[in-house]
C-alpha cells in the first residue's frame, strides 16, 4: 500500500500538470486614471458568457502593486473579465483564450466614479469586497434544482462544508448564519444551511465575527466568520418552510417541520421535531438524510487526549421552539427564542478495565443498563440598541429550566492473574434532579469623539441553583477472607448553588496613529454551595434517616476578585501590531467546610502578564493565568464513598499558575483557490493538581490531591485545501488535515512516582468530486495514532492505531431521482476479546421528487445495511486501560414524505 501511494500521488499531479498546459492565463495591472497610483484590493472576476447567467469561473484581488493574474482559465470558451472596486467605474472585456495563451491586459486605467454619476444596474458583479466583507451574488453560482443553501455555499470560493455540516471560510469556522442580518434559531449554522432553499438567496455576505469585539482589538488571524444570507426582495414578505414524516421498521419514526413567516422587519420561525433515531432535536444534519451516519464508531482518550466518536446510546427526542426577530425603527433590534427538548436515552454498555500493579494485572469486567430522561425549557432574548452611530447597548438574558431522571443497573466481576475471582458486585441506582439557571450579559460601548477612543462597560449575572435526590443499592460479594462482603441501601440528597456577578469597565485612547493605551478594571463576586447529605436505610423505621457523616459534605465558597489591567498597543509599518497588558489581580476567598472543621481564608495576589504580536493573518500570543483548587479538593477530612474507595482532601493546596502560548496563521490564495491554516499552542503549569493514589490487590483505592510542578502540553494543527479549476464540468477539491498533540503528566501510585507522556497524531485526507451537479462523491480517510510512554514505573508502553475510511455520495439521475449513500469503515485491532474490532457501516436511500418544482419528496432509506453499527471507546490513564462497548441503533428501513412550501404574503 505504501509503495502504491507515492505513485498514485505522482500520477495525480502529472494529470494536473497536463491539464494545466491546455489552459490559458490572464494578467494585468490596475492604476488610477487620475493620480496614476496603483489600485489594491480590486475584484477581478472571470465569467463564462455561454449562458445568460454568466457563471463565475474564477476571481482574485489585485495586490499592493495593482497586479493580478489568473491561471488555468478554460481555453476555447467565450469569457468576460469584470473588474470592480468601490468608487471606481467597472472595467469589462470579452475574450476567448487559446490553449496555453497568456493574455496580458497591460496597465488598466480605473476611472473614479463622479459624485452624481448614474450607476447602470443590470450587470451583476459576482463578487464585491468592501473592507472586511465579501459579498457573493448567488445568481452567479449555479446550483441544481431544489438545492439548499449548503449546496450554494460549497460553490463559493474559499468556503468549505464538511460532512457533518460544519462550515469554514478561508480555513476559519463559521459561528453563525444570519438571515437578512438577524439571528436564526440558536445560532446553529446547519439549521439555515440545510433547510433554506438556495433559490431564495440573492446575496451571501461573509465577514469577521466581531460581535464581542467592538473596538477591533482581536487580531484578524484569531477571528471566526459570520455568514449573512440576504433574501430576494420578493421573499421578504413570504411564508415558507417544510414538513416531513417517516415510519420504519422496529418502530422507528421521525417527524418534524420548520415554518417561517417573513414580513418586512418581522421574522417568525417555528420548529418541531420528534424521532427515535438518535437525532438531538435541533441539528437538522441527521433529521432528513438517512437517519444519520454519525451514530457509532470508535473513540480513544489518553492523558487528556481523545478522538473518534463517543457512545450515543439509543435516543428518543421530542423538541420544539419558536424564534422571533423584529426591528423597532432603525435603532432597536430584538430577538426572542424559546426551545423545549425532551430526551430519553438508553445505554447498554460492556466495560473491560485493566489496572497494572507491579507484577499484578487486576481486571474488572462489568455490564450496565441505564435509562436517562431529561426535559429542558430554554428562553433567551437578544436586544441591540443603537441610539446613534457612536453608541451601542446589548442585553442578552437566558433562562433554563431542566429536570432529569436516571435509572441504572450494574454488575461486575473482578479478578487478577494471582487471585481469581476477587469479588463480584451488583448495584442499582435511581436518581432525579432539577436545575434552574438565569444569566444575563449587559454591555455598553461608546465611541468617543477622538477616532479610536472608546468606553466599554460590561455586566454579567448568573444564578444557578440545583437539587438532586438519588437512591443507591450496592451488594458486593468478596472472595478474599481479608476483605468482607457488604450490602447497603443509601440515599443521597444534593443541594448546589453557583451564583456569580461581575462588572468590568474599560477605556481605550489613541495617543497618536501608532500608539494606543487602554485600561480596564473589574470586580467579580461568586458564591458556591456544594452540599451532599447521605443517609442509610433504617429497617426499623422503613426510611432513610440514618445520616452518614463520613459520606456527607457541606461546602461553601465566597470569592471576591478585583483586577486592574493597563495595556499598550503599538502599530508598526507593514501592518505589524504589538500589544502588552499586565493584570493586577486580588482574590479574597472564604472556604467553609462545616463538620467542626475550621474555615480557610485565602488572600491571593497575582501579576498576570500577556503579550501579542499580529501581522496581517498571523498572530502569536502569550498569557498567564491562575486557577484556584476546587473546594472539594481542600476538605480537611476523608469521605468514604464505599469500602472500596475513599478520598482525603488537602487543605494546603496551592493555586495552579499556567503559562499559555499560541500561534495562528491562515492564508487564502484567491488566484489558485488554496487555503492554508496552521495553529499551535502550548501550556506549562506550576503547582499542578493531581491525585496521589493507593491501590491494593483487593482493589481498595484511596485518593488525595497534591501539588507538583512540571505538567505541560502542546498541540499543532494544520490544514491545506485546494479547489481545482473546473474541467469539462468536473469540479475537484482536496483537503489535508494534520493534528499533533503531547501531554506530559505525572502520578503517584502506591508511593511510586511515575510519568506519562501521551502523543496523538491524526492525519485526514478528504476529497470532493462533483460532475454537473449530477454526481457528488466525498471520500475521506483518517489514520490516528496514540502512543503512551511511561517512566519511573514498570508499566508497558502503549501504542494504538485506528483507521477510519468513509465516503458519502449523491446521484441526481434520472430526473427527479436522488440516490444517496454513506459508507464508514472503522478498525481497531487492539480491543480485548469479546469486543468488536471493526465495522462496516453502509446506509442507502432513494428519493423521488414530485409536485411542482419537486416540492414533494418520497424517500426510502436503509440505515446500517450490514447491521454492524457499534460504539467502542478506549482510554489509557495512569496505570489503567479501559475499553467500553455500547450498543446503539442498528439496521432499520424507513419511508419518509417531505413537503416544502413557499407562498408570498401580501397582507
**Other CB atoms closer than 10 Å to residue 23's CB: what's the count?**
18
Distance of CA 545 to the CA centre of its chain: 46
At 448, the pLDDT band (50, 70, 90 cuts) reads very high
Cα(371)–Cα(345) distance, integer angstroms: 6
Average pLDDT score over the chain:
89
**300, pLDDT greater than 50:** no
User: Cell match 501511494: residue?
Assistant: 5
User: H/E element holding 206?
Assistant: strand 201-208
What domains can you pick out in the chain, each with its CATH number?
4-239 (2.60.40.10)
Average pLDDT on 417-426 reads: 94
pLDDT given for residue 321 in this prediction: 92
User: Cell match 428501513: residue?
Assistant: 893
**113, pLDDT greater than 60:** yes
**615, pLDDT greater than 60:** yes
pLDDT given for residue 302 in this prediction: 36
Instruction: Tell me the three cell numbers of residue 94.
Output: 470579452
Instruction: Tell me the three cell numbers of residue 566.
Output: 493597563
At 715, the pLDDT band (50, 70, 90 cuts) reads very high
Q: Is the dihedral angle over the CA atoms 123, 124, 125, 131 positive or is it negative? A: positive
Classify strands 102-110 and 24-32 as parallel, antiparallel or unpaired: parallel
User: H/E element holding 391?
Assistant: strand 391-416
Three-class SS of 824-877: EEEECCCCCCCCCCEEEEEEEEEEEEECHHHCEEEEEEEECCCCCCCEEEEEEE
pLDDT given for residue 2 in this prediction: 40
**543, pLDDT greater than 50:** yes
- Percent of the chain residues past pLDDT 70, beyond the cut: 92
Higher pLDDT, 266 or 118: 266
**309, pLDDT greater than 50:** no
Taking alpha carbons only, the member of 19, 157, 40 closest to residue 100 is 19
Higher pLDDT, 161 or 680: 680
Average pLDDT on 579-601 reads: 96
pLDDT given for residue 21 in this prediction: 53
Taking alpha carbons only, the member of 310, 294, 167 closest to residue 229 is 167
Which residues lie closer than 8 Å to 217 by C-beta, 6 or more apart?
508, 579
User: Cell match 491571593: residue?
Assistant: 604
Cis peptide preceding 236, ω within 30 of 0: no
pLDDT given for residue 296 in this prediction: 38
What phi and psi values does residue 5 have, to the nearest 5 degrees? -60, -50
User: Cell match 481523545: residue?
Assistant: 306
At 55, the pLDDT band (50, 70, 90 cuts) reads confident
**529, pLDDT greater than 90:** yes
Cα(330)–Cα(791) distance, integer angstroms: 65
Average pLDDT on 18-43 reads: 83
Cα(843)–Cα(819) distance, integer angstroms: 11
Cα(58)–Cα(81) distance, integer angstroms: 10
What phi and psi values does residue 18 have, to the nearest 5 degrees? -65, -40
- Give strand ranges (E) for 131-195: 133-137, 159-161, 167-169, 172-179
Higher pLDDT, 360 or 186: 360
Q: Is the dihedral angle over the CA atoms 32, 38, 42, 45 positive or is it negative? A: positive
Cis peptide preceding 528, ω within 30 of 0: no
Whether 750 and 781 have beta carbons less than 8 Å apart is answered as no
Taking alpha carbons only, the member of 385, 378, 304 closest to residue 340 is 378
Spatial strand order of the sheet with 102-110 comes to 67-73, 24-32, 102-110
pLDDT given for residue 64 in this prediction: 85
Average pLDDT on 292-309 reads: 34
pLDDT given for residue 4 in this prediction: 42
DSSP-assigned letter for residue 598: P
Cα(247)–Cα(257) distance, integer angstroms: 15
Higher pLDDT, 286 or 466: 466
Q: Under DSSP, is residue 236 helix (H, G, I), strand (E, B) or coil?
A: helix
pTM reported for the whole predicted model? 0.87
Cα(125)–Cα(596) distance, integer angstroms: 76
**Other CB atoms closer than 10 Å to residue 200's CB: what's the count?**
22
Average pLDDT on 556-573 reads: 97
Straight-line distance from the first to the last Cα atom of the chain, in angstroms, rounded to the nearest whole number:
66
Cα(351)–Cα(362) distance, integer angstroms: 14
Cα(569)–Cα(610) distance, integer angstroms: 12
Helices (H), 188-311: 189-195
HSE-up of residue 857 (Cα within 13 Å, Cβ side): 26
pLDDT given for residue 115 in this prediction: 52
Which residues lie closer than 8 Å to 330 by C-beta, 6 or more apart?
none
**22, pLDDT greater than 70:** no
Average pLDDT on 768-789 reads: 94
**493, pLDDT greater than 60:** yes
Q: What is the DSSP string of 60-114?
A: EE--TTSEEEEEEEPSSSEEEEEEE-TTB--EEEEEEPPTT-EEEEEEEEEPBPP
**Other CB atoms closer than 10 Å to residue 373's CB: what's the count?**
16
Whether 123 and 90 have beta carbons less than 8 Å apart is answered as yes
Amino acid at each position: 500500500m505504501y509503495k502504491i501511494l507515492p505513485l498514485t500521488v505522482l500520477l495525480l499531479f502529472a494529470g494536473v500538470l497536463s491539464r494545466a498546459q491546455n489552459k490559458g492565463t490572464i494578467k494585468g495591472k490596475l492604476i488610477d486614471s487620475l493620480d496614476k497610483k496603483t489600485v489594491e484590493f480590486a475584484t477581478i472576476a472571470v465569467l463564462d458568457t455561454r449562458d445568460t447567467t454568466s457563471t463565475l469561473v474564477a476571481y482574485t484581488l489585485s495586490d499592493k502593486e495593482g497586479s493580478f493574474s489568473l491561471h488555468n482559465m478554460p481555453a476555447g470558451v467565450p469569457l468576460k473579465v469584470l473588474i470592480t472596486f468601490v468608487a471606481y467605474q467597472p472595467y469589462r472585456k470579452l475574450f476567448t483564450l487559446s490553449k496555453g495563451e497568456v493574455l496580458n491586459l497591460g496597465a488598466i486605467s480605473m476611472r473614479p466614479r463622479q459624485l452624481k454619476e448614474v450607476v447602470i444596474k443590470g450587470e451583476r458583479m459576482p463578487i464585491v469586497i468592501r473592507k472586511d466583507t465579501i459579498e457573493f451574488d448567488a445568481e452567479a453560482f449555479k446550483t441544481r434544482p431544489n438545492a439548499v443553501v449548503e449546496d450554494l455555499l460549497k460553490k463559493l470560493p474559499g468556503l468549505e462544508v464538511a460532512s457533518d455540516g460544519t462550515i469554514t471560510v478561508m480555513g476559519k469556522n463559521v459561528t453563525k448564519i444570519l438571515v437578512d442580518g438577524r439571528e436564526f434559531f440558536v445560532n446553529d449554522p446547519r439549521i439555515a444551511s440545510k433547510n433554506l432553499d438556495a433559490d431564495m438567496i440573492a446575496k451571501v455576505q461573509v465577514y469577521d465575527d466581531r460581535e464581542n469585539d467592538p473596538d477591533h482589538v482581536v487580531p484578524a488571524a484569531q477571528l471566526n466568520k459570520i455568514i449573512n444570507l440576504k433574501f430576494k426582495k420578493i421573499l421578504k414578505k413570504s411564508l415558507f418552510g417544510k414538513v416531513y414524516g417517516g415510519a420504519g421498521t422496529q418502530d422507528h419514526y421521525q417527524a418534524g417541520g420548520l415554518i417561517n413567516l417573513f414580513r418586512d422587519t418581522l421574522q417568525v420561525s417555528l420548529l418541531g421535531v420528534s424521532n427515535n433515531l438518535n437525532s438531538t432535536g435541533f441539528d437538522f444534519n441527521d433529521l432528513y438524510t438517512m437517519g444519520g451516519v454519525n451514530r457509532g464508531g470508535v473513540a480513544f482518550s489518553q492523558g487528556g487526549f481523545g478522538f473518534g466518536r463517543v457512545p450515543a446510546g439509543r435516543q428518543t427526542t421530542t423538541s420544539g421552539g419558536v424564534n422571533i426577530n423584529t426591528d423597532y425603527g432603525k435603532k432597536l433590534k430584538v430577538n426572542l427564542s424559546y426551545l423545549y427538548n425532551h430526551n430519553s436515552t438508553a445505554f447498554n454498555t460492556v466495560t473491560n478495565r485493566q489496572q497494572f500493579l507491579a507484577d499484578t494485572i487486576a481486571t474488572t469486567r462489568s455490564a450496565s443498563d441505564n435509562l436517562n430522561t431529561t426535559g429542558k425549557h430554554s428562553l433567551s432574548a437578544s436586544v441591540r440598541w443603537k441610539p446613534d452611530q457612536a453608541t451601542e447597548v446589548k442585553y442578552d438574558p437566558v433562562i433554563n429550566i431542566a429536570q432529569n431522571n436516571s435509572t441504572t443497573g450494574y454488575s461486575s466481576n473482578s479478578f487478577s492473574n494471582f487471585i481469581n475471582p476477587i469479588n463480584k458486585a451488583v448495584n442499582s441506582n435511581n436518581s432525579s434532579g432539577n436545575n434552574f439557571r438565569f444569566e444575563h450579559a449587559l454591555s455598553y460601548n461608546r465611541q468617543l469623539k477622538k477616532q479610536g477612543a472608546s468606553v466599554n462597560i460590561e455586566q454579567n449575572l448568573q444564578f444557578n441553583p440545583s437539587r438532586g435526590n438519588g437512591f443507591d443499592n450496592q451488594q458486593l460479594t468478596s472472595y478474599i477472607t481479608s476483605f468482607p462482603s457488604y450490602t447497603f441501601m443509601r440515599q443521597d440528597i444534593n443541594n448546589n448553588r453557583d451564583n456569580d456577578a461581575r462588572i468590568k469597565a474599560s477605556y481605550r485612547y489613541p495617543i497618536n496613529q501608532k500608539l494606543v493605551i487602554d485600561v480596564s478594571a473589574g470586580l467579580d463576586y461568586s458564591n458556591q454551595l456544594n452540599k451532599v447529605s447521605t443517609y442509610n436505610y433504617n429497617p426499623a423505621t422503613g426510611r432513610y434517616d440514618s445520616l452518614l457523616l463520613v459520606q456527607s459534605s457541606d461546602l461553601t465558597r465566597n470569592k471576591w476578585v478585583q483586577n486592574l489591567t493597563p495595556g499598550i498597543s503599538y502599530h508598526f509599518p507593514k501592518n505589524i501590531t504589538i500589544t502588552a497588558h499586565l493584570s493586577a489581580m486580588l482574590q479574597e476567598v472564604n472556604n467553609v467546610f462545616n463538620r467542626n472543621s475550621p474555615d480557610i481564608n485565602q488572600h491571593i495576589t497575582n501579576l498576570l502578564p500577556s503579550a501579542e504580536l499580529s501581522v496581517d493573518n498571523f498572530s502569536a500570543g502569550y498569557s498567564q493565568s491562575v486557577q484556584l483548587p476546587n473546594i472539594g479538593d481542600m476538605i480537611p477530612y476523608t469521605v468514604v464513598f464505599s469500602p472500596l474507595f475513599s478520598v482525603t482532601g488537602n487543605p494546603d493546596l496551592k493555586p495552579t499558575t499556567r503559562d499559555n502560548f499560541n500561534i495562528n496563521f491562515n492564508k487564502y490564495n484567491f488566484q489558485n483557490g488554496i487555503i492554508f491554516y496552521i495553529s499551535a499552542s502550548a501550556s506549562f503549569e506550576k503547582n499542578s493538581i493531581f491525585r496521589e493514589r493507593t491501590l491494593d490487590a483487593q482493589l481498595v483505592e484511596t485518593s488525595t490531591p497534591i501539588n507538583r510542578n512540571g505538567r505541560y502540553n502542546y498541540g499543532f494543527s494544520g490544514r491545506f485545501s485546494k479547489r481545482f479549476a473546473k474541467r469539462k464540468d468536473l469540479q475537484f477539491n482536496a483537503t489535508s488535515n494534520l493534528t499533533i498533540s503531547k501531554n506530559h503528566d505525572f502520578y503517584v501510585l502506591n508511593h511510586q512516582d511515575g510519568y506519562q507522556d501521551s502523543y496523538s497524531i491524526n492525519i485526514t485526507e478528504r476529497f470532493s468530486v462533483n460532475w454537473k451537479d449530477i454526481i457528488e462523491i466525498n471520500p475521506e480517510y483518517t489514520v490516528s495514532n496514540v502512543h503512551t510512554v511511561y517512566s519511573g514505573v514498570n508499566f508497558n508502553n502503549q501504542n494504538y492505531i485506528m483507521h477510519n475510511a468513509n465516503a458519502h455520495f449523491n446521484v441526481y439521475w434520472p430526473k427527479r431521482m436522488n440516490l444517496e449513500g454513506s459508507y464508514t469503515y472503522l478498525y481497531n485491532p487492539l480491543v480485548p476479546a469479546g469486543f468488536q474490532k471493526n465495522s462496516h457501516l453502509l446506509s442507502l436511500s432513494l428519493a423521488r421528487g414530485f409536485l411542482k418544482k419537486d416540492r414533494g419528496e418520497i424517500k426510502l432509506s436503509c440505515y446500517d445495511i450490514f447491521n454492524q453499527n457499534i460504539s467502542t471507546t478506549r482510554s489509557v490513564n495512569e496505570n489503567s486501560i479501559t475499553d467500553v462497548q455500547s450498543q446503539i441503533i442498528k439496521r432499520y428501513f424507513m419511508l419518509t414524505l417531505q413537503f416544502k412550501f413557499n407562498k408570498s404574503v401580501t397582507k
